[in-house]
Chains A and B, each alone.
Chain A
Amino acid sequence: MAEQRARLWAVLAPPALWLGALLVAPLVLLCGYSFRSGIGGSLFGDWIVTLDNYRTLAATPSFLELLGVSIGIALVVALAATLLAYPVAYYLVFRVRARAGMYVALLLVPFWISYLLRVMAWKVILGSGGAVNAFLLWLGLIREPISVFFYSRFAVVITLIYVWTPFVALPIMATLYRIDRSVLEAAASLGATPGQRFWRVTVPLSLPGVLAGVVMVFIPTVGEYVTPLLVGGSTGAMYGNLIQDFFGRSANWPLGAALAVVMLVGTLVLVGATSRISQVERFIR
């Protein structure tokens, strides 16, 4: 018994230490910083506790509005990416079958190329002198390049959907694979049409994967800052850009930390509520 426990500890210790040092400790420090008055002085010595950062945040409606906008963008991106990924996953699992491995590899090929390069490719496609504008100009449909394609919130959303779609296909595929084919056969033998089989059997059984995909995209997208920085222009900033600014060029870590804590709590509440309402466990059982 004691030996078993020792073995358990031996197995658990490395990941626990890893998480403790690299996730829990920084998060605690982040929370601590959000109650600190400034970055002056030593890290543990000159600690003046204050609620000023949260007061500043509460008194700045535009910051909270931008958080709302970012949550909205994340929802749109998560839903759109899932809707686009579902047919792909369905096709790979139910139609391709034998060579699905190769197709999955193809699906993931974009990830072999640096994210920065792929975003730059969007510039070549959507920019003022890009492919879309050049084509429309050549057709004579427009006289001046359409600038809204790039350096705008629209460009941010398009790019994020593009980036996430292949990711979302993976959890959906995993749940589709797990569907017992005899269930579908039973539905058919009881007279269900292909449409009924899809909507009443396949979709409900694949919901856990769909939800996992939505959440997997939603959470990182709320705090996204690289894509808006590259393609968002002056009006495409997201909440993550504010946090980055306060930690970066403004050197106002306490306010940045307060913004980060608010986003973290907000995201946790939203995701917690979603999984509560949808009762994912029901499907997993």
Chain B
Amino acid sequence: MQQHLGRWPLPVTLATLVVLACGGEKKPQPAASAALTPETTGTLTVLDWAGYEDTSMFIGFHQKYPKVTVSVAFGESDADIFGKMKAGADACVFHPYTGWQPFYVRDGLVQELDTTRLSHWAEVPARFKALGQVNGKQYFIPWDWGFTSILYRTDKVPGGIDSWNALFDPKYKGHISMWDDGPGAVTIATYVKGWDETKLTEPQLAEIEHMWTAQRKLNRFYWTGEPELVQGMASGEIWVAYAWQGAYNTLLGQGVPVAYAQPKEKRNSWVGLYGISSACKDTNLAYGFLDEKLSAEQGTTLISSFAYGHVNPAAAKGVTDTNIVKALSLNDPAVLDRTLFTPLVSEADRDHFGQLWARVKAAQ
């Protein structure tokens, strides 16, 4: 309890103590979003990705607390969001992806969560909860997730694809597209080689660099945004690509003949997290926001509107769109067992991977 009080702003703490000391008639409210009512007003600042400012991304919070304004500022990449938080962005809540959690903790940019203030916390599977922990403490809630796998044109690749090796296959020369990202490229290479991404040796890194440098001649372009990839696949220029399930869903919707591989080395999965800034003053709104994010109803909206996965397993039950069910393998409860979550890599490793990728692109 002491620790709990320690994180409250002093006036709130004093006021609470006075009320308790006076034997106030009101009993202490349940912990979750204690002070929030439909009449609550105020502004919650959020640093998020473009697209996440859509009200349907926080529809539960918006409906419950209609008088609260959610003010969203944008980051364009994880590095950008980290840079903005470091520069002192005025955001109570922010949205990094797996791989970046420890840097926020190291630099004191995120506060430890009191999960007793989240009424939906118990509904989140332990597998997801663990991703928001650093040094055994819960700093983030997991929220949206999705797959990375090989997306391919079934008319151009009639034999189908069952391995990440397809990205390195000379058969598809000039029709492959890889994501423009060093850590992503290293992850895939370790899947192909069967290596542990967190314990790579110098010769292994050299081999990975060699693989991607040779792959460059087969690769048409490195995509930086999903629309670029979707356009390339729809036009028939790209047959085989590193892709997220969102692109698969979009192309299915456009009637393009595509399939999303189930590689023997397993799919990769990424998870989005929400944290509360250590500079956040009104954590009531922030906790209310996070709690509503975790509800099954909010999850169903996220899945149906954006084809992203949601951490609350109950969310999938309300989804009927067959393309989305296919894209997220919602009808396959065991799919996550065949999925590898991106592990945490150290900052030094991340720098190495970034430099490796820069050398691949710079090679003449």
Contacts and interface: CB of A to CB of B under 8 A. Distances in A.
B224 interface: yes
B39 interface: no
Given A69-B364, A229-B224, A242 B358 contact: yes
B79 interface: yes
Interface in B172-219: 174, 178, 180-182, 216-217, 219
A220 interface: no
Interface in B221-269: 221-222, 224, 235-237
Contacts of B77: 248-249
Interface of B: 77-80, 82-83, 86, 103, 106-107, 174, 178, 180-182, 216-217, 219-222, 224, 235-237, 347, 350-351, 354-355, 357-359, 361-364
Contacts of A65: 362, 364
Interface in A9-29: none
A252 B174 contact: no
A147 B80 CA distance: 34
A255 B80 contact: no
A63 interface: yes
Nearest to A232: B221
A229 B224 CA distance: 9
Which residue of B217, B351, B355, B358 has the most chain A CB atoms within 10 A of its CB atom?
B358
A260 B217 CA distance: 28
A21 B82 CA distance: 24
Contacts of B83: 39, 251
B182 A249 contact: yes
Contacts of B178: 234
A241 B351 contact: no
A62 B181 contact: no
Given A65-B362, A69-B364, A237-B362, A252 B355 contact: yes
Contact of A250 (B86, B236, B358, B363): B358
Nearest to A128: B237
Contacts of A251: 78-79, 82-83, 350, 354
Given A249-B79, A252-B354, A233 B220 contact: yes
Interface in A100-134: 127-129
Contacts of B347: 38, 40
Nearest to B361: A237
